[in-house]
Amino acid sequence: MNQPLKLALKQFQHLWKHDSFPPKTLLLKEGDICRKMYHIKKGCIRTWFNHDGKDISFQFFFEGDAVASVESFNKQVPSPYAIETIEQTDVHWLLAEDLQQMRQHPLVNTFLMDRAIDRQAAFIRHFFSFLKDTPKQRYENLLANRPQVIQRVPLQYIASHLGITQVSLSRIRAQIK
C-alpha cells in the first residue's frame, strides 16, 4: 500500500469500530439486511446459504479481507446469504453511511473498487471451476491457490464449497497424499 493511500485511509480510522467474536457467530442472517462491512484483523469467516436444508459455503475470508453482503449493504435489500465466523475472529466494522463518506476520497474509492474487482474475479474463477473442472481438480486448485482454506476451514465447509460430500472429499484427499 503506497504512502498517499495510507494517509488517506488514516483520515477515516475514527469511523471504524472494533469487535471480537467466538467461532460460529452469525454476523448476518440470510434474508436480513447487511448494515455492516467487516475487515478481518484476525480469524476466519465464511459466507453461506441454505439450499434444501443444507448449508452451502461459497466464500472464505481471512486476515486483511473485507466481508459484507455487498448488494445488501449497498442497496439495503435482504441478503441472499449468511456471514459466520469459523474461528475466534477480531474485526473492525463500518456502517454503510460511513463507507459512503470514505468513497468521497478518490484514492480510497479507487482502492475499494480494486478490492471489489479482485473479490469478484475470485468468485468468477470459482464459478467457472464448477463448469469445467472435476471435484478433484477443484480441490487441487484450492490446495494450490488458497492453502489457508485447507489448513483452517473444517472439512464439511470445504466439501460444500467444492460441491461434493465429505465422503468424496475424503477420497480425493486420500488420492492426493
The per-residue pLDDT for range 159-177, each reduced to its tens digit, is: 999 999 999 999 999 998 7
Angle among Cα 49, 165, 30 to the nearest 5 degrees reads 5
pLDDT score recorded for residue 112: 86
- CATH class of the 3-132 domain in this structure: mainly beta
Does position 16 have pLDDT exceeding 80, yes or no?
A: yes
At residue 86, φ and ψ (nearest 5 deg) are -105, -40
Q: Give the tens place of pLDDT for each residue, 45-86.
A: 999 999 999 999 989 999 999 999 999 998 999 999 999 999
Tell how strand 36-42 and strand 66-67 pair up: antiparallel
pTM across the whole model: 0.91
The β-bridge partners of 46 are 60, 84
Q: Mean pLDDT, to the nearest integer, of 115-142?
A: 91
Selection from 12, 16, 8, 40 nearest residue 27 by Cα: 40
